[in-house]
Amino acid sequence: MSVVTVQTTPFAGQKPGTSGLRKKVKVFQQPHYTENFVQAIFTAMPGGSDGKTIVVGGDGRYYSPEVVQIILRLAAGNGIKHVVVGQHGVLSTPAVSALIRSLKTDGGILLTASHNPGGPENDFGIKFNTANGGPAPEDVTDKIYKVTEGITSYKQVELPDLDISKLGEFTHGPLKVTIVDSVSNYIELLKTIFDFERIKKWLHETSPKPTVLFDALNGVTGPYGRAIFVEELGLPESSIQNATPLPDFGGLHPDPNLTYAHTLVERVERENILFGAASDGDGDRNMIYGKGAFVTPSDSVAIIADWAEKAIPYFKGGVKGLARSMPTSGAIDLVAKAKGLEVFEVPTGWKFFGNLMDAGRLSICGEESFGTGSDHIREKDGVWAVVAWLAILAAANEEKPGTTIDDVLLAHYNVYGRSFFSRYDYEEVESAGAEALVNNLREEFAKPDFVGQSFKATTSDTSFTVKEAADFAYTDPVDGSVSTKQGLYIKFTDGSRIIFRLSGTGSSGATVRLYVEKYSKNAAEYGEDAQVGLKPLIEVALSLSKLQDYIKRDKPTVIT
Ligand code: VG1
Ligand code: CO
């Protein structure tokens, strides 16, 4: 079968965002749209596509099977030698990263729009990961975008559809295609990281038995959850729910937060479940939620870092360094300080952690957006974080039987203090208004008297004085690459922060994110509701930015 060159013209806006290209399914279904972007990946991949091996898989959302076939045809046209595909095209994002690394492939293509809803009217996405298993760095995504802007043709072999339901090795035109089980490689990796026997001992030899509930929100992690919680840890079938991946996530918004993971929150509260957790559509996010105890992602990563050596065999040899994205609270910085570890503050998006991990300077990191992970792979890893928390509880219960999530949180605050944190999302607002909001803030920041200015809350006398304000820029300590305009932040003299950023994962319009953080070392405040403690700061953020005027919304879409 020969390679056919198909004429095409560029589509505007094929620019990968925080985590790949995300658009409505209908956009990807336009003739040549998906092909153009896949061709750009093959053209831009480091070292070219000729003779290379790649992994292909995703969260199984609507339109994935069709795109797997498109990728196979273009892979054949672009000289790729071997494609490793998850059965039915399904692999969680962490599982793709793990496969790229364990099979030492030249990269992978992930078919997911992560936590965005799926189905014919919703979102699809394509992301390219490089040979280290992590999301392509900005120089590669910039090149992909450049190629899409000038594309005139793509190359393919007109192959019939391959049956991707059967495991094994196949010859498909000029390609070798291996269809692999979606979960086994990943589960084997987790077994090398955690002490499952120790977790089992706590789960089965405690009376009454600790109760666990994992909610896959109809996303990709259902089979992974079953393999770990039911098969490996011996928990009952009732300890997992929404565990069959559905192409439209059963209409759920597969984002593990208090708003969207209500199926989890309700059952945990109703049944007094000790340990609850949820994951997102593609399995890289997680939420930890026990009866009456919500763990903010910023606290979660700090606590995992604090317990790592004691609870997780993978870190027995020592933790190398810690990191967080800029808007994430400074809780992890305090752990790093106490342990004498390096800590890095990177822009939003997991791609910025990869270089530090590859250089052996980073072990554990996280983002406030329910992303937690380590250098066992190069993506954030929802199921890993859930098992990490089970490992912490098992270890904590050895020291003091009956320890709950709440107890772990309080013990942490008693040592390190508490960072109150919240994020307000204003989704799908008009792009012009969002741009104007950001431009206005930049102008304010540039005024000579902005630093030193005090702002008073609207419903109380609390006021905050600006210590520093800037647009976050990051110089990668490993390769020296510079990323600018990564979010506008204001630090106040009392250590509080507010941050404004535009999302890079939406599929239409603009999403404004407002992040607020306030640190307390006052034990009387540790049990407070974050929204109460943060109220004055939020009021100041809204009034100084004139956010409601610019984007014409009086309430956020989601508060986390
Ligand atoms: C959001 C989060 C960011 C995360 C990204 C991908 O990006 O804020 O922290 O890395 O989603 O997460 P943005 O640009 O919309 O703020 V997901 O689970 O794709 O994989
Ligand atoms: Co995700």
Predicted pLDDT at 284 = 97
Ranges 74-88, 316-330, 512-526: which has the least confidence: 512-526
Residue list, CB under 5 A from ion ligand 2: 114, 280, 282, 284-285
Name residue 180's beta-bridge partners: 86
Rounded mean pLDDT, 516-541: 90
Which of 182, 203, 234 is the C-terminal boundary of a domain? 182
Q: Check residue 249 and give left, alpha or beta (phi > 0: left; psi -120 to 50: alpha).
A: left
Q: Which two tokens stand for residue 269?
A: 């509260």
CA distance 524 to 508: 44
Rounded mean pLDDT, 129-158: 96
Task: Tell whether the model's pLDDT for residue 369 goes beyond 90.
Answer: yes
Which of 356, 384, 416 is the C-terminal boundary of a domain? 416
- For residue 512, the ligand closest to its alpha carbon is 1
Task: Tell whether the model's pLDDT for residue 507 goes beyond 80.
Answer: no
Report residues whose beta carbon is within 6 angstroms of any ligand 1 atom: 18-19, 114-115, 280, 284-285, 325, 348-350, 367, 369, 371, 503-505, 513
Ligand 1, residue 280: give the atom nearest the CA.
18
Task: Tell whether the model's pLDDT for residue 508 goes beyond 80.
Answer: no
Q: Which of 114, 369, 496, 503 is catalytic?
A: 114
CA 160 to ligand 1 center in whole angstroms: 36
Task: Tell whether the model's pLDDT for residue 505 goes beyond 80.
Answer: no
CA distance 436 to 434: 5
Predicted pLDDT at 249 = 94
Q: Are 540 and 464 in contact (CB under 8 A)?
A: yes
Residue 431 and residue 409 share a domain: no
Hey, whose CA ends up nearest to atom 11 of ligand 1? 505
pLDDT, tens digit, 9 for 90 and up, residues 7-41: 999 999 999 988 899 999 999 999 999 999 999 99
| ipTM reported for the complex surpasses 0.90 | yes
Residue 108 and residue 32 share a domain: yes
* Structural domain boundaries, residue 194: 186-416
CA 369 to ligand 1 center in whole angstroms: 7
Residue 478 and residue 383 share a domain: no
Task: Tell whether the model's pLDDT for residue 491 goes beyond 80.
Answer: yes
Residue 515 and residue 409 share a domain: no
Predicted pLDDT at 554 = 86
Percent of the chain with pLDDT over 70: 100
| Residue closest to 124 by CA, chosen among 132, 112, 136 | 112
Rounded mean pLDDT, 297-319: 97
Predicted pLDDT at 221 = 97
Residue 237 and residue 371 share a domain: yes
Predicted pLDDT at 527 = 84
CA distance 165 to 524: 57
Give SS3 for 2. coil
Ranges 57-61, 135-139, 381-385, 502-506: which has the least confidence: 502-506
Residue 536's contacts (CB-CB under 8 Å, 6 or more residues apart) are 457, 459, 460, 462, 464
Residue 395 and residue 273 share a domain: yes
Predicted pLDDT at 113 = 95
Q: Which two tokens stand for residue 14?
A: 């094929």
CATH number of 121's domain? 3.40.120.10
Which of 182, 211, 230 is the C-terminal boundary of a domain? 182
Task: Tell whether the model's pLDDT for residue 229 goes beyond 90.
Answer: yes
Based on the structure, what is the number of domains in the chain? Answer: 3
Residue 114 and residue 75 share a domain: yes
Task: Tell whether the model's pLDDT for residue 121 goes beyond 90.
Answer: yes
Give the global pTM.
0.93
